[in-house]
């Protein structure tokens, strides 16, 4: 008997669809002739529809997930495929991020049609980004350049670059690789001086907590070390109450000896930053400890500038 089809919910952008197809292809490779049919269901989210304002002004990360999660909770969808960096730290009751594909390159790429690197930008050059983290780190490293809001999917941002709206932008290396567009990267930024967003480069699969059938289907494509690293990063973010309203970077690496986490928090203008490392065998404990330490260093009102 043919297994019951899996209905996979995803955003409709080219990158989101590429990630959904990657999950489907991996399931086929893992299960072979026994692989269930996977129906990809593109869903328009509020985050995709609202393009004229920064996410920090209209609701943050949940704008990319609410409609998809409603489909999971209603039973209309069986799984949802997301970019881990888009996921709020608190999920709706009954849902879980139970499976992760092996993480891609977590670094950021500098992209420009005029200049070869972030360091080469002339004074007053314009960098376009919608990410508060990227904007704050650019301002920290290059306080002499101008950072402007810059929304849209990868293709839209590259088109805006060609139209001269900005001299440069920043994109995730993982996204460019998944789209087969890595050649547009002018410079791959160092992960130590330009740390990524929590979850960057990792595809996560969200499902219902009690859906044993789906858990069994997904088990062969789950990557344990990525799950450990993301548990650490998400605990760190949760301790800092992180959202699209706060410039927070964090990157964890899991090994047989435990997990090592590097974290950076900044004021939006990049003028004040607190950085640290933590390691240990308990991923969530490591994340929580580093988040608490950086929050204590920052003090009340750090992100609001008060």
Q: Which residues are catalytic?
A: 86
In three-state form (DSSP H/G/I as H, E/B as E, the rest C), the secondary structure along 183-210 is HHCCEECCCCCCCCCCCCCCEEEEEECC
Q: Give the H or E element holding residue 27.
A: helix 14-31
Q: Provide the sign of the torsion angle of the four alpha carbons 126, 242, 273, 289, taken in this order.
A: negative
Q: Tokens in use for 168?
A: 């440069």
How far CA 135 is from CA of 83, 106, 169, 183, 241, in Å, comes to 20, 17, 10, 23, 19
CB 240 within 8 A of CB 246: yes
Q: How far apart are CA 81 and CA 40, in angstroms?
A: 10
Smallest Cα–Cα separation from 136: which of 40, 268, 241? 268
Smallest Cα–Cα separation from 141: which of 245, 262, 248, 273? 273
Smallest Cα–Cα separation from 79: which of 176, 222, 252? 222
Q: How far apart are CA 146 and CA 190, in angstroms?
A: 21
Smallest Cα–Cα separation from 135: which of 266, 301, 299, 242? 266
Contacts of 149 (CB under 8 A, 6+ apart): 54, 128, 129, 130
């Amino acid at each position: 008997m043919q297994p019951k089809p899996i209905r996979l919910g995803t955003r409709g952008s080219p990158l989101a669809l590429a990630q959904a197809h990657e999950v489907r292809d991996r399931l086929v490779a893992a299960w072979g002739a026994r692989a269930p049919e996977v129906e990809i269901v593109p869903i328009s989210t509020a985050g995709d529809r609202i393009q004229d304002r920064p996410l920090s002004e209209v609701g943050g990360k949940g704008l990319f997930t609410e409609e998809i999660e409603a489909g999971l909770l209603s039973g209309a969808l069986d799984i949802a495929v997301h970019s881990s960096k888009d996921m709020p730290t608190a999920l709706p009751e009954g849902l879980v991020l139970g499976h992760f594909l092996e993480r891609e390159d977590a670094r950021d790429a500098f992209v420009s049609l005029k200049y070869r690197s972030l360091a080469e930008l002339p004074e007053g050059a314009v960098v376009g980004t919608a990410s508060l983290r990227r904007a704050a780190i650019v301002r920290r490293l290059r306080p002499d350049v101008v950072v402007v809001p810059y929304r849209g999917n990868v293709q839209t941002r590259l088109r805006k670059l060609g139209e001269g709206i900005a001299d440069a932008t920043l994109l995730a290396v993982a996204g460019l690789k998944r789209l087969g567009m890595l050649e547009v990267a002018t410079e791959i930024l160092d992960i130590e001086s330009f740390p990524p967003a929590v979850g960057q480069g990792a595809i996560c699969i969200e499902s219902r907590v009690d859906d044993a059938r789906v858990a069994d289907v997904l088990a062969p494509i789950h990557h344990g070390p990525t799950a450990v690293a993301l548990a650490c990063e998400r605990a760190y973010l949760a301790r800092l109450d992180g959202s699209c309203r706060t410039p927070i970077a964090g990157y964890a690496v899991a090994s047989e000896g435990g997990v090592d986490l590097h974290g950076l928090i900044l004021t939006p203008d990049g003028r004040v930053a607190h950085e640290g490392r933590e390691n240990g065998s308990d991923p969530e404990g490591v994340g929580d400890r580093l988040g608490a330490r950086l929050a204590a260093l920052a003090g009340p009102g750090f992100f609001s500038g008060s």
